[in-house]
Amino acid sequence: MPLILFNKPYGVLTQFTGGPGERTLAEFIDVPAVYPAGRLDKDSEGLLVLTDDGRLQAQISSPRFKQPKTYLVQVEGVPSEAALAQLRSGVELRDGMTRPAKARQIEPPQLWERDPPVRFRKSVPDSWIELIITEGRNRQVRRMTAAVGLPTLRLVRWAVGSWTLDGIAPGTWREAGQARS
C-alpha cells in the first residue's frame, strides 16, 4: 500500500490529467493507482497525501474523521486578537459556519521561494498565521481569512494529521522516509 507525501508546487493541479499546458501530478509522480486524499487548489502549495487505499483516502479527506490539517498562511495585514479569536470560534461563510480552528500569528516561516513570487506592496503590511482546521471545504482557509479581513497572499499546507512537509522539497515526494523527485 503506497502512501506518498508530496510537496505540491504552486500552479500544479491536484489530479493526474489536465488540459493543454496545465501542470498535473503526472509530471512529478509515476506510481500506479495512487490518488490524492483531499485537494489543494492550483494556487496553493504544500503537503498532498496520495494512496491506493480507498478507506485511508476517506479517513484523510472526509470531515467526519476530523483529521487536522495545518496551514501556514501569509495574509495581507496584521491579525488583531479579535480576528484570531473569530477564527478560533468559527467563521460564518456562505455555506455555513466553520468548525472552530486553532489560529495564531507566527513569525515568517523558512520556506522555499514561490514561483511566481507573492506580490509585494510597500503600503500594505503582511504577516503569517498558522491555522489548523478539521474540515476541508472548497477554498476554506482563503474564505476564512478573508471573512476576518485578512486576504490570503500565500497558502502552504504544512501537515495532515501527523504527516508533515519536513524534509520534502517542492516537486518531490517521499514514501517511508526517502525524498524523491
Are 101 and 131 spatial neighbours (Cβ–Cβ below 8 Å)? yes
Active site residue 41: yes
Other beta carbons less than 10 A from residue 122's beta carbon: 5
Cα(149)–Cα(78) distance, rounded to whole angstroms? 10
> In the chain, what are the helix, strand and coil shares in percent, each to the nearest 5?
15, 35, 50
CA distance between the termini of the chain: 20
Q: Which of 41, 43, 53, 95 is catalytic?
A: 41
Strands 173-175 and 3-8: antiparallel
DSSP string, 41-62: -TT-EEEEEEES-HHHHHHHH-
Kindly list the catalytic residues.
41
